[in-house]
């Protein structure tokens, strides 16, 4: 089974580094990005399963980033990290395709738990996709080849 790969997106550098260290210690594979743009940049080169995305960021904010991610990488699970005052944006995020949300300040345990849930969901989804592909294989291998190549 594949290992979960997470990406933390937050403008608070110290939060990023500390949480990264924590998660690494817990044995997770973690990437960090300090802005929405950087997150999108890193997604291009890394296979990330779960993105923990802060709602409130300077420049490209959480919701915009979420939309961009979902547009380009629909299979990536996104968990919104919101302050209390931005519950509305969390709801907006959920509507825009986020898997879940976390309330700041959050416990690392909660973060990990939600990330695992999201990952499990993705696994299920990928399983279904695999089954679908296996069925399709008999029909048109070329198509499948094309599809896998495109990924």
Partner 1 sequence: MKKSPYGKLKRVILASMILVPLATLILILGIGYYYFTTSLESSTIATVKRIVADHRHMIDSFLSNRKANLEFILHSYSFKDLADPEMLHKTLKRLQKESDAFVDIGLFNEEGMHVNYQGPYRLVGKDYAEARWFKEVMTQGAYISDVFLGYRRIPHFIIALRKTENGQIWVLRATIDTQMFNQLVKSVRIGKTGEAYLLNAEGVFQTERRSGGNLMEKDPEKLKTPSPQTGIKAFIAENIKGEPYLYATTWLREKDWLLVVRQEKADAFRFLHTAAYIIVIVALLGGGAIVGLALFLTNRIIRRMERMDAEREQLGGQLIRASRLAELGEMATGFAHEINNPLQVMKSEQALMDSILLDVKDKGTLKPSDDLKELEDSIQQIGLQTGRCAEITQSILQFGRQSEPVLQDVDLRTFIPEVTKMVEKKADVHGISLKQRISDDLPPVHGDRGQLQQVLLNLFNNAMDAILMRHGAEGGELVVEAGAGEESKAYIRVKDNGIGINAGDLKRIFTPFFTTKPPGKGTGLGLSVCYGIVDKMGGTMTVVSEKGEGSIFTITLPAARSGRSE
Following DSSP, what letter does each residue of the chain receive, concatenated? -PPPEEEEE-S-HHHHHHHHHHHHHTT-EEEEESSHHHHHHHHHHS--SEEEEES--SSS-HHHHHHHHHHH-TTSEEEEEE-GGGHHHHHHHHHTT--EEEESS--HHHHHHHHHHHHHHHHHHHHHHHHHHHHHHTT-HHHHHHHHHH-
Does residue 87 belong to the site contacting partner 1 (CB under 8 A)? Answer: yes
**Region from 35-43, 59-67, 105-113, 140-148 binding partner 1, contact rule CB under 8 A:** 105-113
Query: CB 104 → partner 1: shortest distance, Å?
Result: 5
Smaller CB separation from partner 1, 35 or 122: 35
Count the site residues for partner 1 by CB under 8 A: 19
**Region from 15-23, 41-49, 70-78, 124-132 binding partner 1, contact rule CB under 8 A:** 15-23
Query: CB 19 → partner 1: shortest distance, Å?
Result: 5
Q: Which residues bind partner 1 (CB under 8 A)?
A: 12, 14-15, 18-19, 21-22, 25-26, 83-87, 104-108
């Amino acid at each position: 089974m594949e290992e979960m790969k997470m990406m933390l997106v937050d403008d608070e550098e110290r939060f990023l580094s500390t949480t990264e260290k924590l998660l690494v210690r817990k044995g997770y594979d973690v990437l960090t990005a300090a802005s929405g743009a950087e997150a999108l940049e890193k997604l291009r080169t890394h296979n990330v399963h779960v993105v923990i995305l802060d709602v409130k960021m300077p420049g490209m904010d959480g919701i915009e980033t979420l939309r961009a991610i979902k547009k380009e990488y629909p299979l990536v699970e996104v968990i919104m990290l919101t302050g209390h005052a931005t519950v509305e944006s969390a709801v907006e995020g959920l509507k825009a395709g986020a898997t879940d949300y976390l309330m700041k300040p959050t416990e690392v345990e909660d973060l990990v738990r939600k990330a695992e849930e999201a990952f499990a969901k993705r696994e299920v989804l990928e399983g279904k996709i695999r089954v679908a592909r296996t069925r399709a294989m008999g029909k048109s291998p070329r198509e499948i080849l094309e599809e896998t190549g495109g990924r």
